[in-house]
Structure 1
Amino acid sequence: MDLDDYDFALRSEQIAQEPPAERDGARLLRLSRGGGARSHHAILDLPALLAPGDLLVVNTTRVLPARLRGHRTTGGAADALVLGPGSAPNRFRALVRTRGRQRAGMKFRFAGNGAALDAELVSLAEDGEVELAFAEGASPYAIGEMPLPPYIRRSEPRAQDALRYQTVFARDPGSVAAPTAGLHLSEALLAALAARGIERAEVVLHVGRGTFAPLSDSALRARRLHAERFALPDATARAIRAARERGSRVVAVGTTTARVLESCVEERVTNFHLPRSSLLLLVAAFAGRKAVLAAYAEAIQRGYRFYSYGDAMLIL
């Protein structure tokens, strides 16, 4: 396996910088796993493309306001992405971006939402992850903003992103990136799916740094990716078993849900992913590399919007 086999060229104007005007306003490319046939739809056509009795499984993780903006106390800008709790109640794992070499003892001031917090870098791992110590009882999430991926350009945070970079069913805090296929599902679309007789179940997978970290050739050769935390409720396991027993399909909304359910998935809704990424490899493993790349080529030719705020695929 070679990462070059999962590469493609994309015009910058097709990288969606804004969500569609309406949450359920995206386009949908339907791809058949059996032969690679393709057709073009809107995400609002999803109820008609599924059958009564099918089971739609969504990820209810909630994106944390994990991006911090600030500066070193000695001068110079600094940004941080808070990854989660650290080794003590006042410590948090993070990725820090600032000029110069990072070292223990560096001090920062981060500000947002009309407040500021001081932090000290107390440890640095080989993979670049650091541990930041804040004042006792202080939460970096109180001053943070939504951690949009770097290909979405924002000089300043926007209130719209706090709403639109979150699914309508987000409930369980813990992610540093959104399960983006779920962003398309509005309350109205969920109601239309239910009216069609399509059932819904839930899992939780907290999206970590590995989702957006570059995939290296060494990691690919070692067949080793990042660890993730997830939960599969008993009620969801029962719903999947019942769907399969009655001959209905299990439809995963997004690669995060698919990573929980693995071989239980017959269909999936997914966004268009970055070249040479683990997410593209996952989709290709499900539907076939040549079929997926052909679908991507057609989507590019037809002007589909790509990545987190972009359009979607239905693979069945």
Structure 2
Amino acid sequence: MKTDDFDYKLPEELIASYPLDKRDESRLLKLSKETGNIKDYKFKDFIDFINPNDLLVFNNSKVMLARLYGKKTTGAKLEFLVEKIKTPKVFETHIKANRSPVIGSEIYVQDTLAKVLNKDDGIYLLELQDKKNIYQLMQEFGHIPLPPYMKREDEEFDAERYQTVYAKDLGSVAAPTAGLHFSEELMQQIKDKEVGTAYITLHVGSGTFKPVQVDDVESHKMHSEVISVPEDVCQKIRQTKANGGRVIAIGTTSVRSLESAGQSGEIQAYQGETDIFLYPGKKFNIVDAMITNFHLPKSTLIMLVSAFAGKENIINAYKHAIDKKYRFYSYGDAMFIY
């Protein structure tokens, strides 16, 4: 299977650089994975497509204020994208610099001295040397790490809009974007309709934006992310299946978490790393339907939705979305694949 099979041309004006005023006013493309049938709705109509015996599974990861600035002891400027926090003083980060810092050297992260402990696959391991920890630095100086395709600096409103309304566990460098469409009002409607809800955690890494670099899809090495699928969520899933309801994953992060925890065919509580890679030919054991945004060409995520809905159906849906001028990517519109 060729990576180029998952390429498509997107007019640049369809990339959403800014969110809409209201979360649930975005558009929703409803796609049947059985028939390929496509219908256009508003996201707030989603309430009409779900039933009390269904279970919505949300990713409650919270985006870190992961973009920081600093300098070398020479004064040369540095830009950081914090990838993963190991301890309050030790963290993994990308560093943008004219000349890469060397292992063993000392640099400044904002106003705090740090030692470069290691570098592996382009990611640095740093240890802060002063009183402040990484959480304090992010709180004081951090910026929301908007994806590069937005081509703008973060603004004040992004701190709220690039988080889901139910974000809780800090650790992502990108939002689980399917969840951005859920307003407080829609969450209340879901509750009033007595539709089941459950929360898993997957901390999104920057690898989510990386296009697949190899020609053959199967040769791609997936990046690893930290997930938590608690036992109470597994119990809700078993109950939903037993009652003939659907497990509806909110976002590809929820899909990957649930399918990681369900690789044996049965859902099992799981906490740890996952590098699950879902592409056409792979089987889905847990997820019956999903909400997802529109994904980048040649990305592992367009491969995931193609595996779930069928490649032809996804190609047709994306063509339809482009023709109808849907908004794409993180601040863009959504699909409901059922």
TM-score range, shorter chain: over 0.9
Deviations 1:228-282 (A, max 9, x none): 2111122111111111111111100000000011221100000001000011111
Say yes or no: does 1:47 pair with 2:47: yes
Does the alignment pair 1:247 with 2:241? no
Determine the structure 1 residue equivalent to 2:13: 13
Q: Does 1:130 align with 2:152?
A: no
- Once residues 77 and 215 of structure 1 are traced to their aligned partners in structure 2, the CA distance between those partners, rounded to angstroms, is 30
Decide which of 238, 249, 274 is 2:296's aligned counterpart. 274
**Residue 184 of structure 1: CA displacement?**
0.7
CA positional deviation for 1:24: 1.5
In the TM superposition, residue 199 of structure 1 has moved relative to its aligned partner by 1.3
Does 1:109 pair with 2:104?
no
1:286 to partner: Cα distance: 0.3
Unaligned 5+ runs, structure 2: 260-284
- 1:27 paired to 2:27: yes
String of CA shifts for 1:67-98, please: whole Å, max 9, x gaps.
11233342443211111234x75221111011
Match of 2:233 among 236, 247, 253: 236
CA contact (8 A) 1:219 1:225 kept: no
Q: Give the stretch that moved more between structures: 71-80 or 267-276.
A: 71-80
1:159 pairs with 142, 153, 156, which one? 156
* 2:27–2:334 contact (8 Å) kept in structure 1: yes
Residues 163-219 of structure 1, C-alpha deviations (whole Å, 9 max, x = no match): 011111111111111100001111100111222231111111111232123322178
Structure 2 counterpart of 1:117, which letter?
A: T
Q: What is the RMSD computed on CA atoms of the aligned residues? A: 1.8
SS across alignment from 1:17: coil
Opposite residue 25 of structure 2, the aligned amino acid is G
Query: Do structure 1's residue 214 and structure 2's residue 215 form an aligned pair?
Result: no
In the alignment, is the contact (CA less than 8 A) between 1:90 and 1:137 conserved in 2?
no
Structure 1's 106 and 58: CA in aligned 2 closer, same or farther, altered over 3 A? Answer: same
Q: Cα–Cα, structure 1 residues 256 and 284, in superposed 2: closer, same or farther, change >3 Å?
A: same
Matches for 1:64-75 after TM superposition, within 5 Å:
64-75=64-75
Q: 1:124-162, CA deviations, whole angstroms, 9 ceiling, x for partnerless residues?
A: 22x11111232244223232111111112223x322111
**Which is worse superposed, 94-103 or 282-291?**
94-103
Distance 1:44 1:81, change over 3 A: same
User: Counterpart of 1:258 in 2: which secondary structure?
Assistant: helix
The answer (yes or no) to whether the contact 2:211–2:297 under 8 Å persists in 1 is no
For residue 217 of structure 1, give the secondary structure of its aligned residue in structure 2. Answer: coil
State yes or no: 1:303 paired with 2:325.
yes
| Residue pair 1:175, 1:206 contacting (<8 A) in 2 also | yes
Runs of 5+ consecutive residues of structure 1 not aligned to the other structure: none
Structure 1: how far apart are the matches of 2:220 and 2:13?
A: 33
Q: 2:116 aligns with which of 111, 114, 121?
A: 121
Match of 2:148 among 131, 147, 150: 150
CA contact (8 A) 1:61 1:174 kept: yes
Distance 1:94 1:101 in 2: 13
Q: Which amino acid aligns with 2:127?
A: A
Count residues with an aligned counterpart. Answer: 309
Aligned residue number for residue 226 of structure 1: 223
- The CA distance in 2 between the partners of 1:8 and 1:55, in whole Å, is 33
In structure 2, what is the Cα distance between the partners aligned to 1:192 and 1:235? 23
The CA distance in 1 between the partners of 2:53 and 2:217, in whole Å, is 38
Q: Give the TM-score, by structure 2 length.
A: 0.86
Name the aligned partner's letter for residue 208 of structure 2: T
CA distance in 2 between counterparts of 1:176 and 1:92 reads 13
